[in-house]
Structure 1
Amino acid sequence: MRFKKAFAAAGLVAAAALALTGCNSGSPAAPEGGDTTAPAETSTPWTVAEGFTLEGSPTFDKIEERGKVVIGVKEDQPGLGYYDNVTKERTGFDVDIARWIAASIGLDEDKIQYKAIASANREQAIVNGDVDYYVGTYSINDKRKQEIDFAGPYFITGQGLLVRSDDTDYQKLEDLNGKTVCSATGSTPIQNIKENFTEIKPQEFDLYSACVENLVNGQVDAVTTDQAILIGYAAQQPEELKVTSGPVFTEEQYGVGLAKGDDAFRAHINDLFTEGGDIWQQIFDQNLGESGIKVDQPKVDAY
């Protein structure tokens, strides 16, 4: 799978549409019964499975005993994983992917507990059993796979740059030598900066939103993370911020993080993604479809 149209080409007008779309993502309520792979002509394209069982999955056994699922998420990424403190609504592509998985094992919204986990703490939260699975712009890589397993990928993007609207439209990371670039602690982009672009001054915070605040205030020169995330931030402050038009610097494959060795649960999620292409497309369209991004659903890596 590859992008058919570059993220940056979408522009800020398309990004504004993304923010509005993200606010209209799948409703928390899901209809009862039915096949979880069958699309429905509603704002919630999945249905909640009935009588579901999953042999050989310690994670599912724990969920079943508890009577609810605990999902790790992000809360500060518009269009992907966002929590509105005023409306108390949780929206975004990643959040709806997480809901779809929960519905596939028989759990509606009232049986979901969300936990916001910072990027640097994701593996430990999964290893400790603090969350049953994690869905939140979580890039699959070999280092992380030493501690946890991944289902997916369910989405592919790449590292880009967010800058102030009146600043240089940087085309590559080397253009920022001597400048300060901010990203989330423990994220793939900040590691890329530290390891491969040593003339750039890295700045880290737990949340991307803190990086964006420092960018607006002039304390950093750019924010770097996946372009899918940056477009959402640019949409919130289009007069202040822009996503640079240069090409993406990496390929990031988003996966669902889960306990290492739970092959049954990982296989179930991979099967859900493989068989549920129509649902995946509706989730994408409702959250990111109007952003100008054109993508195909990636094939899962059933390792």
Structure 2
Amino acid sequence: MKLRKVTAASAAVLALTLSATACGGGDKDSGSGGDKVKVGIKYDQPGIGLKKPDGSFSGFDVDVATYVAKELGYEPKQIEFVETKSADRENALARGDVKFIVASYSINDKRKAKVDFAGPYLLAHQDLLVKSDSKIAKGADLNGKNLCSVTGSTSAQNIKDKIAPSANLRQNPGYSECLAALQSGSVDAVTTDDSILAGYAAQDKFKGKFKLVGEQLSNENYGIGVKKGDKATVDKINAALKKMVDDGSWQKAVDKNFGPAGYKNEPAPKIGVIVK
């Protein structure tokens, strides 16, 4: 009798264990049931990838990531957005922290040695943001003017070295500080990728106050980063990006996130074609 009681108890424990195991695996790459997918994005770039005070997310990269994830079998509620800073993108993929990264991630040879890329999904260019009534029409007009970019960025230095050697460089911790300086008049222009500038300028508090000059000082081919060697995921994401362009969702996302800044976007790039 004692043996039967122990056996019954053991069976009960085993049943509970199996039940818990069946309910637990919520991080598999299958998109069914309660499974989730982790996607790396920026949290601090309005119009690109932004975590809002209420915990929701917005931006072009967020829209692209959501569309791609759906094509991979995940509904929006199954997506877990993970903040992925620029310096940690390759490591996040190598560690398996995220399935893929959509974070203004320019494709270049150095990065391709460490990760694989789907896309590109956007062709951006280094540009200048100025006040809406500014007379600055090209990079050379910055001679003798104050130019802002973030600390450590090469964008402003590129202009000083190649286009406007007499420009005065001002560095700030972030682009929000650069836009505040531009609004106050302490700097005359801000420089980085046009998509990033458009995202900031499209915010409600800045609508109508700034404009993009339209300089194309570099080509930035934004790609979706995937762990090195995961060709199957790259192929699935490429198919999703093509569908997003073909059904009009890509252009709608561009218009929604960048349109208020007067951003004149390039046509959707062709998959696998890198513009040098």
TM-score (normalised: structure 1): 0.65
Contact 1:215/1:222 (8 A) holds in 2:
yes
Aligned: 1:209 with 2:176: yes
Aligned: 1:74 with 2:42: yes
Instruction: Work out which of the residue numbers 138, 147, 150 in structure 1 matches 2:105.
Output: 138
SS of the residue corresponding to residue 130 of structure 1 reads: coil
Other-structure match for 2:269: 298
Q: CA deviation at 1:126?
A: 2.5
Other-structure match for 2:74: 107
Q: Unpaired runs of 5+ in structure 1? A: 1-60
Q: Which has the higher contact order (CA 8 A, sep 6+)?
A: 1
Q: Distance in 2 between matches of 1:204 and 1:143?
A: 27
Q: Distance in 2 between matches of 1:154 and 1:123?
A: 19
Other-structure match for 2:61: 94
Matches within 5 A, 1:201-240: 201=169, 203=171, 205=173, 207-217=174-184, 220-236=187-203, 237-238=205-206
Contact 1:119/1:186 (8 A) holds in 2:
no
Contact 1:171/1:244 (8 A) holds in 2:
no
Q: CA deviation at 1:69?
A: 1.3
Q: CA deviation at 1:119?
A: 2.7
Matches within 5 A, 1:135-174: 135-165=102-132, 167-172=134-139, 174=140
CA-to-aligned-CA distance 1:143-164 (integer Å, 9 cap, x gap): 2212211100111121111134
CA-to-aligned-CA distance 1:127-156 (integer Å, 9 cap, x gap): 333322111222111122122111001111
Decide whether aligned partners of structure 1 residues 179 and 82 sit closer, same or farther in structure 2, where only a CA change above 3 A counts: same
Q: CA deviation at 1:256?
A: 0.4
Contact 1:120/1:185 (8 A) holds in 2:
no
Q: Distance in 1 between matches of 2:130 and 2:268?
A: 29
Q: CA deviation at 1:218?
A: 5.0
Which has a greater percent of helix? 2
Decide whether aligned partners of structure 1 residues 196 and 77 sit closer, same or farther in structure 2, where only a CA change above 3 A counts: same
Decide whether aligned partners of structure 1 residues 189 and 140 sit closer, same or farther in structure 2, where only a CA change above 3 A counts: farther
The percent identity for this pair of structures is 41
CA-to-aligned-CA distance 1:248-279 (integer Å, 9 cap, x gap): 21222111011112111111111222344334
RMSD of Structure 2 on Structure 1 (CA): 3.4
Q: Distance in 2 between matches of 1:240 and 1:140?
A: 32
Decide whether aligned partners of structure 1 residues 287 and 273 sit closer, same or farther in structure 2, where only a CA change above 3 A counts: closer
SS of the residue corresponding to residue 258 of structure 1 reads: strand
SS of the residue corresponding to residue 300 of structure 1 reads: coil
Other-structure match for 2:3: none
Matches within 5 A, 1:115-134: 115-134=82-101
Letter in 2 for 1:98: A
Letter in 1 for 2:123: I
Letter in 1 for 2:97: D
Decide whether aligned partners of structure 1 residues 117 and 202 sit closer, same or farther in structure 2, where only a CA change above 3 A counts: farther
SS of the residue corresponding to residue 63 of structure 1 reads: coil
Letter in 1 for 2:130: V
Q: Unpaired runs of 5+ in structure 2? A: 1-26
Letter in 2 for 1:90: F
Q: Distance in 1 between matches of 2:154 and 2:147?
A: 14
